[in-house]
Amino acid sequence: MSTFETIKTRKSVRTYQGKPVEADKIKAVVEAGNMAAGTPMAGDVYFNVITNAEVLKGIVDGTKAAMANSGMEMLVKLSSNPSYNPIYGAPVAVVISTTKTDMPNTAAMARANATCAGENMLLAATELGLGSCYLESPVLAFNIPEVAQAAKLPENAQPQAMIVFGYTDDTAPHKEYPTNPENILYVD
Ligand SMILES: Cc1cc2nc3c(=O)[nH]c(=O)nc-3n(C[C@H](O)[C@H](O)[C@H](O)COP(=O)(O)O)c2cc1C
């Protein structure tokens, strides 16, 4: 696949097969994340690669508990749905974290570093024929110390995002992209 084909093929996948992902593919996806653009001014980017079923379940339960206590109507309602799985049954979940900081500018750069890493991983997974999704909700679970410890998050790390991926039967093409040409301005 060319880079442009991969970009067009990538989509958020929310159903996964039980089939495990081969170790070399997991490594290739995570290394793609580690090769992303990023400023060293914001410290380090960490990748915690989780395939352990018990740890994944802890993240699912922790996310639902945090959503239930969020006070946000939509999240509370979603968390009460027994069939809702915030990581959609994906066999691999990668927590992307960055060095903790109290400085807003540095925090913004750290967030951007994590996001660049995440997009690289989504594209790498797509290239390898895997479904993937960028997730924010499961990050809530890491406020629960036991969940953060089980995921072996570094002490000084701020979890920023989770990328899940795996084999999927959802091979439908990406839904049509919005046409908003007015949002693109060429200044010649
Ligand atoms: C910062 C960010 C947070 C997201 N969080 C979630 C999430 O918690 N759960 C989810 O199902 N999808 C999440 N998504 C995926 C978006 O819903 C998805 O990218 C968007 O609907 C566009 O669809 P596409 O990825 O198929 O192009 C997130 C995406 C981004 C960039």
**Beta carbons within 8 Å of 118's beta carbon, 6+ residues apart:** 33, 96, 134, 161, 163
State if residue 70 touches ligand 1 by the CB under 6 angstroms criterion.
no
State how far the Cα of 16 lies from the Cα of 112, in Å rounded to an integer. Answer: 28
| Domain 3-167 superfamily per CATH | NADH Oxidase (3.40.109.10)
pLDDT tens track, the chain, 188 positions: 999 999 999 999 999 998 999 999 999 999 999 999 999 999 999 999 999 999 999 999 999 999 999 999 999 999 999 999 999 999 999 999 999 999 999 999 999 999 999 999 999 999 999 999 999 999 999 999 999 999 999 999 999 999 999 999 999 999 888 788 899 999 99
Tell me how far apart the alpha carbons of residues 133 and 2 are, in angstroms, rounded to a whole number: 20
pTM for this entry: 0.96
- What single-letter amino acid sits at 103? M
Q: How far is the CA of 11 from the centre of ligand 1 (A)?
A: 9
pLDDT, residue 179, reads 83
Give the nearest ligand 1 atom to 88 CA. Answer: 11
The tens digit of pLDDT for each residue in 97-115 reads: 999 999 999 999 999 999 9
Q: How far is the CA of 135 from the centre of ligand 1 (A)?
A: 6
**Pair 66, 144: CB distance under 8 Å:** yes
Laid out side by side, the sheet with 92-99 consists of 45-50, 92-99, 157-166, 131-135
Ligand 1 atom nearest 118 alpha carbon: 31
